[in-house]
Amino acid sequence: MVIYVVKPGDSIYSISQIYGVSSAAIIQANGLTNPDRLVIGQALVIPLPSTYTVKSGDSLYSISRMFGITLTALQQANPQITNPARINIGQVINIPPQPKLGTIDVNGYAFPNINMELLQSVLPDLTYLSIFNYEVKPDGSLSTINDTPLIQAARAGGVAPMMVITNIEEGGGFSSELGSTILNNQAVQDTLLNNVVQTLQSKNYYGLDIDFEFIYPSDREAYNAFLRKTAALLKPMGYTLTTAVAPKVSASQPGLLYEAHDYPVHGEVADHVIIMTYEWGYTYGPARAVAPLDQVRRVIQYAVTAIPSQKILMGIPNYGYDWTLPFVQGSAARTLSNVEAVEQAARVGANIEFDITAQSPYYYYYSGGKRHAVWFEDARSIRAKLLLVNQYNLGGISYWTINRPFPQNWSYLGARYNTRKLL
Q: Which residues are catalytic?
A: 213
CA 323 remoteness from chain centre: 22
**Residue 399 bridge partners (DSSP):** 108, 316
Rounded to whole angstroms, how far apart are CA atoms 23 and 36? 11
Distance of CA 220 to the CA centre of its chain: 28
Cβ atoms of 212 and 166 closer than 8 Å: yes
Helix axes 379-391, 293-306, angle to 10 degrees: 20
**Residues 28, 339: contact at Cβ < 8 Å?**
no
Beta-strand (E) ranges in 169-298? Answer: 207-211, 240-245, 272-275
First to last CA, the chain: 27
DSSP string, 208-242: EEEE--S--GGGHHHHHHHHHHHHHHHGGGT-EEE
What CA–CA distances, in Å, run from 89 to 55, 80, 86, 320?
Answer: 5, 16, 10, 44
